[in-house]
Structure 1
Amino acid sequence: MNKKRMLVSLVTGAILGVFCIVGASIRSGGEASTSLLFALWYNRIIMGLVIGLNISKKDLPSIIIRGAFLGLVVSFAYYASTGFTDIVSFLAGIIYGIIIEYVNFRVNK
């Protein structure tokens, strides 16, 4: 395991999780429960963990595909827990998976 890759993935996931919390709060009109917002943030941390455990790739197309796939897989757990109602967070998770992979690609060149 590459410790730098893991750290970058976890920190990026945590930061993106904050963006998710803000977005979910705005979409819900400020009425989203604290536990729901925490679950969303925690999901992004788990996404960072899963991506951080993978071996670095050197080609951009591969990291985009892998980031999207891992983002989809990890975000699906949260999406299912909402009764398949929060499609925006699910789709954002796919994008965030790509972002986490891309940040690692740039930092670990």
Structure 2
Amino acid sequence: MTRNIGLKVGKPKEDPEPGDKKNPFNGTLSLRGKLFEGIVVKANAKNTVVIEKESPVYFTKFKRYARGKSSIHAHVPSNIDVKEGDRVLAAECRPLAKSVSFVVVEVKS
């Protein structure tokens, strides 16, 4: 049984591992705050990915745009399959580790 997480995202197709508490759909993890959409750059660590988002930054002095990047670490629940290069949506949650305060809620394609 999956619970409502308060976002309009698709339900995961796979079943979670038993005892997965860091899962917003089946565990006790609640979501709050910001949403972060980006591309998975690294997926080497266990249950954790690095997501990067590019956005243009305007410099008024030079009247030009530059590329700005911001990256975060996000937890991957056991019932979501994520690979490098995937476009994902991550939602903010309580701190899960020293640098992890987001959880992946949807893989966009």
TM-score range, shorter chain: under 0.3
| TM-score, reference length from structure 2 | 0.26
The structure carrying a bigger strand percent of its residues is 2
The structure carrying a bigger helix percent of its residues is 1
Considering Cα pairs closer than 8 Å and 6+ residues apart, tell me whether 1 or 2 has the greater RCO: 1
